[in-house]
Structure 1
Amino acid sequence: MKKKHQEIETPFLLALIPLVAMIALMAVTIIVFEGSPHIPLAVGTVIAGLIAWRIGYKWETIEEGAYKGIRLALPAVLIIIVVGMIIASWIGGGIIATMIYYGLQIITPSLFLMTICIICAIVALAIGSSWSTMGTIGVAGMGIGASMGIPVAMVAGAVISGSYFGDKMSPLSDTTNLAAGITDTNLFEHIKHMMYTTIPGLVIALVVYFFLGRQFAGAAIDEGNIQNILSALNSNFVISPWLLLVPAAIVVLVALKVPALPALVVGVFLGFICQIFVQGGNIGEAVNTLHDGFAIASGNEMVDELFNRGGIASMMFTVSLTIFAMVFGGVLEHTGMLKAIVKQILKVAKSAGSLIAATIVSAFFTNATASEQYISILLPGRMYATAFQDKGLHSKNLSRALEDGGTLTSPFIPWNTCGVFILATLSVSPFAYAPYAVLNYAVPIIGIVMAIIGYKVQFLTEDEMQQLKIKQQRIDRENELTEGV
């Protein structure tokens, strides 16, 4: 006889305890001890398990919740691993170097703020990392801007806006893959749906930077930093516009609606081939690059910082964090705790638009309390998944809301890992650059307004709802088999 899943109603205040404890521990761990978020998540999971056991849940049910969370994370984990490989192969193949090389040559003094924003957007789009972009091109941009007398807060704001645009819209970004993966949304559908809020946000930012930059039109530019980077790229890579065909091929595959994983695997293969036949590497080096990442000693600190990365090994932090977070969320969900919390929120957020707006605000609140942008995606993502389904909303509404409210608002929190990193890297306080990080606050506002007026709120079709029911039934059967007979 099959075991039935326990249904015990968890009191709201008890359901809050693991969440509040995890957030408090997260803040102390990250801000005070500068540690990783894994342990707070593990402790939060233990507390959730103890509370569930105390109110009557059996260990088997609690354990099954943890396993269910891991199973839900597997698609995202697989894509994240492949992303590590594609980053490494594109660096090794000279593809990213080529994109940066041509991007850096479009800087003009009269449009510096606009230009540095666009360059950071291109680089972050190519490598999928706002941090690496800010730590390299961003640092160079700060020096160039300072040499022209532009306030550092303005330059930092433009760098952050561009870096986070590229990160948010890149299929190589870990946060983009996390948001798509935990909501079970096709990666490229997720990216396409984000365009409705993010492209207008970028346009607004560029217009602001255009008018801000007009006052510096007569300034002279010190091209030393740029020339050093270009020289280092030329010395260590074969730079060719033909290499731009590789990202173009991925764009074509996306346009042809090829699923994310096969499209990314093609990107890995093309980068692998380029490293051997264009850059002159050997097969052994190319294989090791896929696992360990690319290694370079160019003599230019910024270039080394930007290109010493990628590979499967580099993604294990994100993979392990995803598993820990999904175990935590799985236990909360399987023991009715998430249901109890969301039930209270839904008393206010009754419409589809207000639910999306509540998700954006919740993601920002998680950034401010948990101090980690990954958690701002993972935690609300699990909390609201069922509520979105119940209202017939497509999962890409949820994935976009998570990025609008989570990924983009993290730099505004001084004690968040992103705010701390930016302060250390660009030497500008979040309070100083916040007014100029236009994209980062424009997009959440656009997302909330669009949700309230119902613009580009995608509902499930009848066929999609039927497919979702079939998929849920299959998952339920798998869970029953796992629980045993």
Structure 2
Amino acid sequence: MEKSGKNISLGLALIPFLVMIVAMTFVIIVFEGSPHIPILLGAVVAAFIAWTSGYSWGELEKFIYQGITKVLPAVVILIMVGLIISAWIGGGIVTTMIYYGLEIISPSYFLAAILIICAIVTLMMGSSWSTIGTVGVAGMGIGISMGIPPAMIAGAIVSGAFFGDKMSPLSDTTILASGIAGAKLSEHIKHMLYTTVPAFIIALIVYFIIGMKFADNSINRESIDAVMNGLQDNFLISPWLLLIPLAVLLLVFKKVPALPALTTGIILGFLADIFFQGGSIGEAVNALQGGYSIDSGNETVDSLLNQGGLESMMYTVSLAMVAMIFGGIMESTGMLTVIVEQVLKIARTGRSLCATTVVSSFLTNVITAEQYISIIIPGRMYANAYEDKNLHPKNLSRALEDGGTITSALVPWSTDAVFVFTTLGVSAWAYAPYAVLNYCVPVISIIFSLVGFSVIYTNKRKKEGVNEQEENVQ
């Protein structure tokens, strides 16, 4: 079916976005509500503008369904993460990691340690959500027990998880960005080292500095001991239980896809609940559905462990659906394209084009609340421009990830940010200032692009003898 609508002007294309932002400001900041209704309102306005521009309701329905289809893989992962959290809590895996973490990790270097751990795990798994839903949950428990503010802990977890998500050859966003840009996966990953490694080092230094105020002598050891005793009183703590997360990591290392690996983790956690912790099958099944529940008598222990389950992910699932209703209309009617095209007019040189791509990917995240669209739309829009300026495709693929993948968690109404809130209990408004890597990467990327560092041109450009200085003069 061909589109019957006409081209939509920039002024009209901006209206749904502006309506959504204004509504979001009132609902979230003033009324402390959720972002669902503001996004739906933006979708209604976008649909009305498209309808008055000549699109039929049948076409708009098709655009909505196409948008929702794109987020279905993420919905499946969400469900699996909800199940694995409850299974691993009930099976004692999370409590074992918290217990030994409290024994081994010092508060002074905890933030740096959790950054490194989450980065390594996500590099192996290829999924930031899987890491946040497992290691991240345990990390929150350890850090809170040490007296570290939840926002700082969540920021470090998000930084580590998204470093791995961005750099892992198993990550869907990494594969998507290289594919959209037409760059080899290996070249794409190597090229991202220029911007991502410096940001990681900066984050590591920042977390070491912040951690100095949480040295052992400033922490109430009695509260930590109370948490550890509460865990021991209600769970069998055993290093053997750590074999379960190791088994999942081994499967991923053997290049088993994320879904089968997570399913294995769920089954093993379920069995550990029954045979190690002595739980009943009925209670274990109910925990998978409604989340794990405990009344240990220790408020901190209860707050750490009463979570997980399929139902806990429904808020995020519904937001993902709503966001893609808005994103599907904006993308398929060309309104998002019109906005991006105007941004493209600013990019007159190869350097400014790379920087513009980073900004465009971030803005697409803000508008559509979905990192996949922030890679796909700018990737499609700018591919020809990169070719015209003889820029190597890996410049485009890196810029898409520097501005799209890494910044998604900073947008409070995005699916990534809401997933973090659902899983870790900390909103993006709170953890964003501490997600050091996530905002350092795009800043470094823009600076490097503007000065021409690591901006690579094709052999054709070299043969023609054209350089950046000549281009700037023109």
| TM-score after normalising by structure 1 | 0.71
Matched, 1:128 2:122: no
- Letter paired with 1:405: T
The one-letter amino acid paired with 1:159 is: I
* Alignment correspondent of 1:321: 319
State how far apart, in whole Å, the 2-side matches of 1:131 and 1:253 are. 19
> Residue 178 of structure 1 contacts residue 378 of structure 1 at CA under 8 Å; is this kept in 2?
no
Question: CA shift at 1:65, angstroms?
Answer: 0.8
Contact 1:247/1:267 (CA < 8 Å) preserved in 2?
yes
Indicate if the aligned counterparts of 2:13 and 2:336 stay in contact, CA closer than 8 A.
Answer: yes
1:325/1:378 contact within 8 Å kept: no
2:45 matches 1:47: yes
User: Could you tell me how far apart the structure 1 residues matched to 2:6 and 2:60 are?
Assistant: 12
**Which string of whole-angstrom CA distances, capped at 9 and with x for unpartnered residues, describes residues 121-168 of structure 1?**
75897553899679755544447xxxxxxxxxxx78853542323553
Deviations 1:366-405 (Å, cap 9, x if unpaired)? 88x78xxx93747745643533666666878645633422
Deviates more, 1:18-27 or 1:157-166: 157-166
Q: In structure 1, what residue type is equivalent to 2:133?
A: G
Structure 1 residues 417-436: Cα deviation after superposition (integer angstroms, max 9, x where no partner)? 99999xx989xx979x95x7
1-structure distance, mates of 2:292, 2:224: 22
Secondary structure of the residue aligned to 2:407 is: helix
Q: 1:404 aligns with which of 403, 406, 424?
A: 406
TM-score norm. by structure 2 comes to 0.73
**What secondary structure is seen at the aligned counterpart in 1 of 2:406?**
helix
Q: Which moved more, 1:277-286 or 1:388-397?
A: 388-397
Q: Which runs of 5+ in 1 are unaligned?
A: 144-154, 460-485
User: Could you tell me which residue of structure 2 aligns to residue 386 of structure 1?
Assistant: 380
Q: Which runs of 5+ in 2 are unaligned?
A: 122-130, 180-184, 387-392, 459-474
Superposed CA deviations along residues 288-333 of structure 1, whole A, max 9, x for unmatched, are 2211111111222222112111111111111111111111111111
Kindly provide the CA deviation profile for residues 44-92 of structure 1, in whole angstroms up to 9, marking residues without a partner as x. 1111111111111121111111111111121111121111111111111
Rounded Cα–Cα distance in structure 1 between residues aligned with 2:455 and 2:253: 20
Contact kept? 1:359, 1:405, Cα under 8 Å: no
**d(CA) in 1 for partners of 2:46 and 2:455?**
37
In structure 1, the residue matched to 2:264 is 266
Assess if the C-alpha contact under 8 Å between 1:79 and 1:261 holds in 2.
yes
The verdict on how the C-alpha distance between 1:354 and 1:43 changes in structure 2, with shifts beyond 3 A counting, is same
How many angstroms apart in 2 are the aligned matches of 1:330 and 1:263? 31
Does residue 306 of the first structure (1) align with residue 311 of the second (2)? Answer: no
Match of 1:70 in 2: 68
Residues in 2 aligned to 1:352 and 1:311: alpha-carbon distance in whole angstroms: 48
Which of these residues, 271, 294, 297, is aligned with residue 296 of structure 1?
294
Distance in 1 (CA, whole Å) between partners of 2:339 and 2:229 is 56
Most deviating of 3-12 and 23-32 = 3-12
Q: Match for 1:106 among 104, 107, 129?
A: 104
Match of 1:279 in 2: 277
What is the aligned-residue identity percentage? 42
Q: Which has the higher contact order (CA 8 A, sep 6+)?
A: 1
Q: Tell me the C-alpha RMSD between the 2 structures.
A: 4.5
> For each residue in 1:243-278, what CA deviation from the matched residue of structure 2 results, as whole angstroms up to 9, or x when unmatched?
222222222222222222222212212211221222
**228, 240, 263: which one pairs with 1:230?**
228
Q: How many residues align?
A: 421
Partner amino acid, structure 2, of 1:298: S
The one-letter amino acid paired with 1:58 is: S
3-state SS in 2 of match to 1:343:
helix
Q: Which amino acid aligns with 2:69?
A: R
Higher mean displacement: 273-282 or 438-447: 438-447
Q: Partner of 1:163 in structure 2?
A: 157
Displacement, 1:212?
6.4
Q: State which of 239, 242, 251 in structure 1 corresponds to 2:240.
A: 242
Q: Is the 8 A contact 1:363 1:376 kept in 2?
A: no
